[in-house]
Structure 1
Amino acid sequence: MAFTDNSPIVLNTQIAPVPSGARPATGAARIPSPTFYPAGSEIYAQGERCQGVYRVEFGAVRVYRLLADGRRQISGFHLAGEMFGFEADDTHHFFAEAICATGVTITRTARTAEMSCHLLPMALEGLVRAQEHLLVLGRQNAVERIAAFLTDMAERQGGLKQIELPMTRSDIGDYLGLTIETVSRVFSKLKQSGVIRLPGLRTVEIVKWQSLHDMAA
């Protein structure tokens, strides 16, 4: 199927499964069929009113903010099965964009006590991830940042030795506070040292898991 623009398209597919451990809550509407977003298309913009909580059914999403000087700071990547878009108030404070062809479902929520309890684990997980990211940016050098990033991506993909990176080197740089040249140089260094292999442009094979983990620590 060919797409001529970046308009989201609703797919007629089955209802998305509820995440493991979650239970239906008052105020949560029935999860609809995924909406398809072509690569590079906007899911929501900074300043828009929140419509609910989003879940990636397939593909990947980047969440970012544009700085005053025009630079982009990516605050997170969300992969299939992960949720995003939770805000403390009724307004989105970041942009969300499809990295590749992506399907997203949205659960429209009412602000009830039961729904708040339902979303609390998601909010706490986001807080922990944000704290870990601040540590990476504040205390680690370029090699350590890339190692921590690859370790995190591997763990989020089930601990596989071969992982897929839907994002570009530029995306990784904007997430880790590095230039694209530095990101490429570190990947080459890890490859030359035998810690990783690069079978494809977006594929990384972790050869020496312990070495990579030690670099990230």
Structure 2
Amino acid sequence: MLSPLPQSVTPAPTSAPFGFTGPCLRHARDEEIFGEGETADHVYQVISGSVRTCRTLRDGRRQIDEFHFAGDYFGLEAGDLHRVAAEAMTETTVRMVRRGALSQLAAQRPEVARVLFRLTVEGLQRSQDHVLMLGRKSARERVVGLLVDLADRTGGDELDIPMSRQDMADYLGLTIETVSRTLTQLQGDGVIAIPTTRHIVLRDGVALRRLAS
């Protein structure tokens, strides 16, 4: 059974992962879900909204590790502490599943163990791709790669971007000025349109995927 949560937690209308029935916690924009270095007692699933996971570098700069959207899991750690912090990018609802209970279930049900293994491998692959992108790709390739990734994950070429330009910069390892300038250049080239700051349309997905590769 999941432990009772504070009064700010409300029951979720959807079934919890792996058959658990549990409550969900609503978070306001920019509210912290858990902090870097805190004990990793729970695994989380985004029910609605969006989450960024990030860490603070030694020089005080922020590095965003990943963006998470509805259906995604996060907070799954190999050790006992969270390596990153998690923050809501929008009004967000997340489900908390006790890590100990999930481990017990994985020991009893091989299909749960396989899902956890797949999630771990997928997270590792995305981390490796992120490191490769930061080390090898130009600013233009990084921005295009993020847009293509968002399109692939959300299933459409019209993107309602939950992250700010600063979020994008901190994920891509660029300055906010470089991100804004690159988006303007892509719009000038006719491969994207930016009707509003948080809405981007991929007008030429084939060209963009070629640029990102």
What's the TM-score once normalised by structure 2's chain length? 0.89
Q: Which residue of 1 aligns with 2:167?
A: 171
Identity score, percent: 39
Decide which of 63, 68, 75 is 2:65's aligned counterpart. 75
Give how far 1:138 is off: 1.0
Give how far 1:116 is off: 4.1
SS class of match (2:99): coil
Q: Which residue of 1 aligns with 2:204?
A: 208
Q: Which residue of 2 aligns with 1:140?
A: 137
Give how far 1:144 is off: 0.3
Contact 1:8 1:37 in 2 (8 A): no
CA distance in 2, matches of 1:88, 1:13: 27
Within-5 A mapping of 1:57-206: 57-110=47-100, 111-112=103-104, 113=107, 114=109, 116-158=113-155, 160-206=156-202
Give how far 1:33 is off: 2.6
SS class of match (2:150): helix
Give how far 1:48 is off: 1.1
Contact 1:31 1:107 in 2 (8 A): no
Flag structure 1 segments of 5+ consecutive residues without an equivalent: 1-6, 25-29
CA deviation profile, 1:80-117 (whole Å, cap 9, x unmatched): 11110000012111100011110000111323434544
CA distance in 2, matches of 1:8, 1:193: 51
Aligned length: 201
Flag structure 2 segments of 5+ consecutive residues without an equivalent: 1-5
Structure 1 stretches (4+) deviating beyond 6 angstroms?
none
CA distance in 1, matches of 2:183, 2:44: 32
SS class of match (1:34): strand
